[in-house]
Amino acid sequence: MTVRDILSIGHPALRRTAAVVPQAEIASERTQGIVDDLIDTMRHANGAGLAANQIGETARIVVIEVNDNPRYPYKPPIELTVAINPEFEVLDDETVVINEGCLSVPLRGDVVRSVNLGVRYFDREGTEHCTRARGLTAGTWQHECDHLDGVLITDRADPSTLCTWDEFERHHRDAFIERISRFTERVGS
């Protein structure tokens, strides 16, 4: 198990656009090592997702997983997903305000996200996947893809909603969970 340091806001790697991973390099030792490190680091930090930029790698790779996560008990389950060169398409005009956190930013804030997405990516074996995501799951995809483009939640969040994790838990969590509950289902594969 290799747990890497998660870079914090201010580190230049978080602002770089990640490079596309050529299909011929997906099986490479380097790419597979980044994937393994992302999984170990995300799980160690109890994250719902992690992008390669967050560990200093500028490759278009993210991992996503939600399974009894103590940081996000309100999120619907997402099986471990390794996404190389992920892309998404917004399927309609429906949006939702999600109070998001980030392992690289010690704050949470309200971010407007699209509710329904079509998502395409390659897994670690190089197999292409096309799926749909809704609600909080769609928000997670958008958040992680933002990282690959050098975008942080502080760029998207309403500044008046920024707060620490503790203050979110103390003052805002219950209202957020009540508001978001109708957007939590994951649709199709």
Catalytic residue, chosen from 144, 167, 169, 178, is 144
Count of the separate structural domains present in the chain: 1
Q: Are 39 and 86 in contact (CB under 8 A)?
A: no
pLDDT of 35-66, one tens digit each? 999 999 999 999 999 999 999 999 999 999 99
Domain range for 79 is: 12-93+115-150
CATH number, domain with residue 142: 3.90.45.10
Pairwise CA distance, residues 175 & 180, whole Å: 9
Q: Is residue 173 part of a domain?
A: no
Q: Is residue 5 part of a domain?
A: no
Q: Is residue 101 part of a domain?
A: no
pLDDT of residue 188: 39
Answer yes or no: 144 catalytic: yes
Q: Is residue 161 part of a domain?
A: no
62-69: list long-range contacts, CB under 8 Å, 24+ apart: 62/38, 62/86, 62/144, 62/145, 62/147, 62/148, 63/35, 63/38, 63/39, 64/140, 64/141, 64/144, 65/39, 66/140
pTM comes to 0.92
Q: Is residue 188 part of a domain?
A: no
pLDDT of 120-165, one tens digit each? 999 999 999 999 999 999 999 999 999 999 999 999 999 999 999 8
